[in-house]
Amino acid sequence: MEWTAIVMQLFTGLSLGMLYVLLALGLSIIFGLLTVVNFAHGAMYMWGAFAGVATVAITGNFWLALLISPLVIGGYGLLVERTLIRPLYGRDINYPLLLTFGLQFIMIEIIRIFWGTSDRPFSAPASLSMPVEILGIFYFPSYRLFVIGITLMICIVLWIFLEKTNLGLVIRAGTRDPLMVRALGIDMRRIWWLVFGIGSALAGIAGILAAPIRSVFPEMGIAMLVECFVVVVVGGMGSLKGAILSGIIMGEASSITTLFYPQMADIVIFLVMAVVLLIRPSGLFGKAGLLE
């Protein structure tokens, strides 16, 4: 096997991993702070893609869609938390999971009603359509490089937000010791509300970034959801570092497996999960607070 093929495979694995990273970050943030498993995360990802489709249909501008999608889905997340999830706090930990499980079906049907069941074409903007030569060795779609780049940017922004701002400080404290934070007089519920919105926005932007690569259709979040869960569990639920690392690992694992034994590509992430969990039952970075 030529080493150029392997290098190219590593690049494709990285771009695949980036989508996982965005989705896993959103899920992890929500779980880390609220201990809510957002089963509707895949549906939010899908809504992000459709929000992009709608925006481009109206304005014809991809960059605008890139901005609007996370805002719309984030806003939707705020709504969901306030009306549907908040009443469930104090009850068994499983209820928000069950609720979001049902919610995703409603979200899928709504899209089916308005857009039908068939695929929506969605292309990357012209500026990103040309393949780019990497290291003089092979051609790689510039759009995927863009996805890698923008995901890294988002991670950096998120890191700055959590490390350098007061709000970020409260969020980090909230994952470690919610009782203490409340004792200090801070209303955690607003924080939870905000974080759910942020997590949803991350799912939304993942959706629109994925749209030119994959087809846009109502069920696109279903398969993604399970893979996303596996990534989060491996990284450690509630750990951002874990989500990023796990996303990249899973993307590369899937990609490299495809090179050598493609039939196993679906199964490999489950195998990785089984192995990781047997060694470290809480995932790579366990249950500690965010960014640890």
**Whole-Å CA distances, 198 to 113, 150, 167, 256:** 27, 16, 13, 32
Q: Please tell me the distance from the alpha carbon of residue 215 to that of residue 217, in angstroms, as a whole number.
A: 6
**Residue 57 binding another protein, by CB under 8 A:** no
Name the token pair of 96: 């928000």
**Residue 124 binding another protein, by CB under 8 A:** yes
- What would the x/- binding string for another protein be over residues 211 to 240, using CB under 8 A? -xxxx-xxxx--x--x--xx--x---x---
**Whole-Å CA distances, 112 to 109, 158, 165, 217, 250:** 5, 33, 41, 9, 31
**Residue 71 binding another protein, by CB under 8 A:** no
**Residue 145 binding another protein, by CB under 8 A:** no
Q: Which is nearer to another protein, 69 or 257 (CB)?
A: 257
Q: Please tell me the distance from the alpha carbon of residue 85 to that of residue 145, in angstroms, as a whole number.
A: 37
Residue with tokens 């893609």: 49
**Residue 99 binding another protein, by CB under 8 A:** yes
- What would the x/- binding string for another protein be over residues 12 to 51, using CB under 8 A? xx-xx--------------x---x-x--------------
CA-based nearest residue to 41, from 189, 233, 250, 202 = 202
Q: At its nearest, how many Å lie between another protein and the CB of residue 90? A: 12
Q: Which is nearer to another protein, 141 or 174 (CB)?
A: 141
- Work out whether strand 131-134 and strand 138-141 pair parallel, antiparallel, or are unpaired: antiparallel
Instruction: With contacts defined by CB under 8 A, name the span among 45-53, 94-102, 163-171, 193-201 that binds another protein.
Output: 94-102
DSSP lists the bridge partners of residue 133 as 139
Q: At its nearest, how many Å lie between another protein and the CB of residue 123? A: 6
**Residue 127 binding another protein, by CB under 8 A:** no
Q: At its nearest, how many Å lie between another protein and the CB of residue 122? A: 8
